[in-house]
């Protein structure tokens, strides 16, 4: 398979970026999208040109590092996957593929397709943990938890912090990410001890970092590789209002 790639190139956060075109040929339809970029970079290196910088780590869809904006969609033209799980068979031979970094004020570009997502780390540091003294390892049934609550908490905890929700949102909102991190504790008794402080601190930090607000368009849920539900945003709002009132 042959492709024409239009890739965003930018030296650093303050430099002016531009699209550059590259041709890649002989790509297997079974290659992953990142393997295709590896092939392109090897070609550039062989010609003593600067390779394209992009983020990746596990290449198994669990770390959230590999986020790219591909043909107008976070993680590309497939549902419930990360970029590293996208395969070239999802494209047609001869296609033009436009590849961009996440576009958000709170995710400044470091170089080319690499963005700084440390804003998410700062939100987690603001309150995304519990500090109870657990002592030794408790028995699994020491604290009875309804299965529905456990399932909701596990669904929220599956968020990998890739930032697709921010990239998809017209307001660059981080509400889906933050609400997932709030919900994963709010549904469990261990997380209730610091619930009010947690949601206040995390929402405040989210606003400080310049993320937009949620206007319920649903783009975040549609593009989330782990299919995190919008209902977590409603839960976070209830937690926040309760924390502010009581």
Task: Render pLDDT for 99-119 as a digit per residue (tens, 0 to 9).
Answer: 999 999 999 999 999 999 999
Task: Render pLDDT for 197-241 as a digit per residue (tens, 0 to 9).
Answer: 999 999 999 999 999 999 999 999 999 999 999 999 999 999 999
Whether 124 and 181 have beta carbons less than 8 Å apart is answered as yes
Calculate mean pLDDT across residues 163-167: 97
Kindly list the domain boundaries of the chain, sorted by start residue.
3-110, 117-132+143-245
Q: Which CATH superfamily is domain 3-110 in?
A: Beta-grasp domain (3.10.20.30)
Whether 80 and 225 have beta carbons less than 8 Å apart is answered as yes
Using CA atoms, how far apart are residues 147 and 122, in angstroms rounded to an integer? 31
Q: How many CA atoms lie within 13 A of 236 on its CB side?
A: 28
This model's pTM is above 0.85: yes
Q: Which CATH superfamily is domain 117-132+143-245 in?
A: Alpha-helical ferredoxin (1.10.1060.10)
């Amino acid at each position: 398979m042959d492709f024409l790639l239009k890739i965003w190139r930018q030296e650093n956060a303050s430099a002016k970026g531009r699209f550059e075109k590259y041709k890649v040929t002989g790509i297997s339809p079974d290659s992953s999208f990142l393997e295709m970029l590896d092939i392109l970079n090897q070609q550039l290196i062989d010609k003593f040109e600067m390779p394209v910088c992009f983020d990746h780590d596990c290449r198994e869809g669990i770390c959230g590092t590999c986020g790219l904006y591909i043909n107008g969609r976070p993680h590309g033209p497939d549902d419930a996957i990360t970029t590293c799980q996208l395969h070239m068979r999802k494209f047609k031979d001869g296609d033009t593929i436009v590849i961009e970094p996440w576009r958000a004020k709170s995710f400044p570009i470091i170089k080319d397709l690499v963005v700084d997502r440390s804003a998410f780390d700062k939100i987690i540091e603001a309150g995304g943990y519990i500090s109870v003294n657990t002592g030794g390892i408790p028995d699994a049934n020491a604290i009875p938890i309804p299965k529905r609550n456990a399932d909701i908490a596990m669904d929220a905890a599956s968020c990998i912090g890739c930032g697709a929700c921010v990239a998809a949102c017209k307001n660059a909102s981080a509400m889906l990410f933050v609400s997932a991190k709030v919900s994963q504790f709010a549904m469990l008794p261990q997380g209730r001890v610091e619930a009010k402080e947690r949601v206040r601190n995390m929402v405040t930090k989210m606003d400080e970092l310049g993320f937009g607000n949620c206007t319920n368009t649903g783009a975040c849920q549609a593009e989330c590789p782990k299919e995190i539900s919008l209902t977590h945003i409603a839960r976070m709002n209830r937690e926040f209002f309760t924390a502010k009132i009581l």
